[in-house]
Amino acid sequence: MPDNNLIVVKIGSSSLTSEEGGLNRERIAFFAEELASLHAEGRGVVLVTSGAVAAGFRQIGYNARPKALHEKQAAAAVGQALLMQAYQEAFGRHGIVAAQLLLTRADFSNRKRINNAMMTMEELLRLRTVPIINENDTVSTGELKFGDNDNLSALVANMCKAEQLIIITDMDGLYTDDPRRNPEAVKIDRVDQITGDIVRLAGGAGSSVGTGGMRSKIEAARIATRGGIRTFIGRVLDAGDLRLAAEGCGKGTYFDTALNSLPMKKQWLGFHSLPQGSITVDAGAERALLIGGKSLLPVGVTGLDGDFHPGDVVEVRNAEGETIGRGVVNYAAWQVKAVAGLSTDEIRDRIDVHRIEVIHRDEWVSLR
């Protein structure tokens, strides 16, 4: 899959539909033209789109965006077809074939399924189509939903090993405060590291037709940059704005990274897997994992939560309760509880385990 000229662009519902619902075909034509100009240069282009529910709820007879899950799924079933028809017509004017991929979180949590999706994407890009990705809203439920497509776009960008992720929103970047309420708010042009202070600057959702606010976009940037992918969050309103965003001078905020792309195994472990529990570690173990590149030994474990088994993925938390990473555990929960805080010699006297490491460093990914 191309990794030196591939761009992933995410467009939200508020950019594609009206506040009252229904597709804004002029905006879809505009975005198709912006993407087509990059495609014409030989770049690979992947589009992650929202808008199925917003496009369909009026067509199906609802007066306002539905809140009940079965109503949203019904609206999405109608709206997704309308959305893809609009994209196919818009890209077709530029001689580009648009392809549809509908994904769920369950697809990402299953290694075989996500590898299949990756191979499909690779072939579509080789054939110079534009893959258009959305969450499969008609089957996604509850805790298995992405909630918005910001995180989905970051996961797709990591999967493709994209050069850049561009998240289009109705704000021209991240500000020190909400500029709609505080005229003294200052825009942040570049972020080198996504700290707790940066996350706290993000507010709630800003549109009645969308689900994601700036907070979810910052989280998406965190996922993307952890995988070595530069991220832009901002506006694309006028002709040429998308090119400016791709070239580093767009109307928004850039999130830089000095990290390299993660292997697929580490991506799955860090971002796609579904943890079955958590393990809490002391400060020494935290340093060993994050700085020393060491495995997690029982002596550094101070607590746990959940009923996990060998081979399950667990989150690892520090003494303050912050998640520092994930790993594949070699112990069952009851075994971890029995040996927490003990030395290697003491462990061998108590239980019979295949490996002494609770989590081996080869089965670990840092999320800090």
Q: Which long-range contacts (CB under 8 A, 24 or more apart) does 349-355 make?
A: 354/310, 354/330, 355/330
Is 159 marked as a binding-site residue? no
User: Considering just the CA atoms, what is the radius of gyration of the chain in Å?
Assistant: 22
The residue among 356, 366, 229 whose CA lies nearest residue 286 is: 366
Q: Cβ atoms within 10 A of the Cβ of 363, count?
A: 20
* Burial label, 354 (beta-carbon count in 10 A; 0-12, 13-18, 19+): exposed
Distance of CA 123 to the CA centre of its chain: 22
Is 17 marked as a binding-site residue? no
Is 149 marked as a binding-site residue? yes
Burial readout 28-41 (b: 16 or more C-beta within 10 A, e: otherwise): bbbbbebbbbbbee
Is 252 marked as a binding-site residue? no
Is 187 marked as a binding-site residue? no
Is 300 marked as a binding-site residue? no
Is 141 marked as a binding-site residue? no
- Strands lying side by side in the sheet with 278-281: 301-305, 278-281, 313-317, 323-329, 359-366
The one-letter amino acid code at 205 reads: A
Is 109 marked as a binding-site residue? no
The residue among 257, 255, 253 whose CA lies nearest residue 235 is: 253
Is 161 marked as a binding-site residue? no
Is 277 marked as a binding-site residue? no
Is 192 marked as a binding-site residue? no
Kindly tell me the sign of the dihedral angle through the C-alpha atoms of 229, 230, 236, 240.
Answer: negative
Q: How many CA atoms lie within 13 A of 41 on its CB side?
A: 12
Instruction: Show binding-site residues for ATP.
Output: 10, 169-170, 211-217
Give the annotated binding-site residues for substrate.
Answer: 50, 137, 149
Q: Which residues are annotated as a binding site?
A: 10, 50, 137, 149, 169-170, 211-217
